[in-house]
Amino acid sequence: MPKVIYVSAKGDAREVDVPVGTTVMAAALKNGIDGIVAECGGVCMCSTCHVFVDENFFDRLPPAQDTEEAVLEIAAEERQPTSRLSCQIKVTDDLDGLIVRLPERQR
C-alpha cells in the first residue's frame, strides 16, 4: 500500500498507509492527522485541506482543475508554487512516499 508522509508546520513527520484511490485529505482525517480541517468535506468550496506538496512529487500529480486553482486563492496561509488541496489528490502506486507539508493554519 502506498505511503503518504504528512509533515506538520512544526516539522513533525507521520507516515501513513493509504489505499490507492483514497484522497490525501480523507487519509489524514482517518489517521488523526491534525492540521487538515476539511470543512466542506472535499468538494472544493473551502481551502481548509491546503497542503504544500514536496517538489519531487508535485509534477507527478495531475494538474489542478480551475475550481481547485480558484480555491487556493483564498487559502488562510498564502499559496506557494506547490500548493494543492489535499481533497483533490488521489493516492496512486506511483505516488508512494508522497510528502505533503501542512500549513500553520487552515482558517
Residue 78 contacts other proteins per CB under 8 A? no
Residue 66 contacts other proteins per CB under 8 A? yes
Specify the residue, 87 or 99, whose C-beta has the smaller distance to other proteins: 87
Closest CA to 49 of 6, 9, 106: 106
Find the part of the chain contacting other proteins (CB under 8 A) among 52-60, 65-73, 83-91, 96-104: 65-73
Count of residues touching other proteins (by CB under 8 A): 20
Whole-number Cα distances in Å, 5 to 13, 35, 64, 97, 100: 6, 13, 21, 7, 6
38 three-class SS: coil
Q: Which residues pair with 100 in a beta bridge?
A: 6, 53
| Interaction residues for other proteins, span 4-63 (CB under 8 A) | 26, 29-30, 32, 34, 39-41, 43-46
